[in-house]
């Protein structure tokens, strides 16, 4: 059964335009992270079947566990493929709880400090502090219990890639908070 909502109760979304409820500007989706069971099979699928280009691969080791990742790129967006190295890795535990698939979506913002402050005022909880490196700032929300989704806010300087420092700091913050 569906229910018709009064026009005043819902803001209409027109094709290609998402209503800006928080007065924040999300200029684009920066990247999507996909948790996978087998990184090599995932790279094969995205690169050899779908035609993405392999941009980088990284090993990240936390205090208790690690992950391997690969960034594959189309002309307009990146997908970060992530695989846990041990059963206790946060990525492996994510897959155990939610299954393989989209682990987070990264939204590009112009000023991460303003975005975090505004969303925090609206009641959104963050799982990390703002992680900073020379040309990159990131913050991750707590996972939505309904969808299993985590949102990353990302502010970029000149570069488009990821820094070892930020990836390592993120992994360690999530691991120490025991977040899946």
pTM: predicted TM-score of the whole model, two decimal places: 0.79
Q: Which of 43, 46, 44 is nearest to 57 (CA)?
A: 43
**Which helix or strand (DSSP H or E) is residue 118 part of?**
helix 112-121
Provide φ and ψ at 7, rounded to 5°: -55, -35
Judged against a pLDDT cut of 50, whether residue 41 lies above it is answered with yes
How many angstroms separate the CA atoms of 125 and 128, rounded?
9
Q: Which residues 6+ apart lie within 8 Å of 115 measured at CB?
A: 24, 109, 139, 153
Convert the pLDDT of each residue in 62-119 to its tens digit.
888 889 999 999 988 899 999 999 999 989 999 999 999 999 999 999 999 999 999 9
- Superfamily holding 22-176: 2,3-Dihydroxybiphenyl 1,2-Dioxygenase, domain 1 (3.10.180.10)
Q: Which residues 6+ apart lie within 8 Å of 38 measured at CB?
A: 83
Provide φ and ψ at 164, rounded to 5°: -55, -40
Q: State the pLDDT confidence band at 21, using cuts at 50, 70 and 90.
A: very low
Residue with more model confidence, 4 or 180: 180
Q: What is the domain partition of the chain in residue ranges?
A: 22-176
Provide the pLDDT for residue 3.
Answer: 53
Lowest-confidence region among 6-10, 124-128, 153-157, 172-176: 6-10
């Amino acid at each position: 059964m569906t229910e018709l909502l009064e026009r005043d109760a819902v803001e209409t979304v027109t094709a290609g335009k998402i209503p800006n409820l928080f007065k924040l500007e999300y200029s684009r989706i920066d990247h999507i992270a996909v948790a996978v069971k087998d990184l090599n099979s995932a790279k094969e699928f995205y690169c050899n079947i779908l035609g993405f280009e392999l941009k980088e691969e990284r090993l990240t080791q936390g205090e208790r566990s690690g992950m391997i990742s690969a960034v594959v790129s189309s002309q307009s967006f990146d997908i970060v493929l992530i695989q846990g190295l041990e059963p206790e890795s946060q990525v492996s535990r994510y897959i155990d709880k939610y299954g393989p698939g989209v682990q987070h979506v990264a939204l590009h913002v112009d000023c991460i400090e303003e975005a975090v402050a505004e969303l925090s005022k609206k009641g959104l909880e963050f799982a990390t502090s703002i992680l900073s490196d020379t040309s990159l700032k990131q913050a991750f929300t707590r996972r939505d219990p309904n969808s299993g989704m985590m949102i990353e806010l990302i502010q970029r300087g000149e570069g488009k890639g990821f820094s070892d420092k930020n990836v390592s700091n993120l992994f360690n913050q999530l691991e120490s908070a025991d977040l899946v």
